[in-house]
Amino acid sequence: MNRRRRRVSASFHSTAAPGSNVFLTIDLHIQRAAEAALQSAKVSYGQPLGAAVVMDVQTGDVLALASAPAYNPNVFIPRLSTADNQYLSDTRLRPQINRATYSRYQPGSTFKTIVALALLETPEARFNPKEKYAVAPNPVKAG
């Protein structure tokens, strides 16, 4: 109620309903291998920078998800030290950003095979796989 004794809002309660189950699909061995690969990667600014995502192509399950540099969230307990605060605030490293889920990366050369397979499987494309096609080294978008 407001100061004029008029109802401003009403709250309603509903009974809880069971939701869907969530299953963790991370494979510990693959996860550790992804993290080790990131740690052995090329070093920038004194730390490796990058992300690794491994998925099961049949089910879409995420088997590994790693980001570097990483940090231990327990550094906030009981109090954040000055050194940890400087590390977490580093604008070049940005360790609090999960690069596997937050950053955007252009697809690499591996994506070209997906496009080629899609073209081969599309009957209306009238693509002759035996014919040779010339492509400029740096093609520019049309239009």
Cα separation of 22 and 17, whole Å? 15
Verify whether residue 109 is a known catalytic residue: yes
Active-site residue, from 9, 11, 40, 109: 109
**Residues annotated as catalytic (active site), given as ranges:** 109
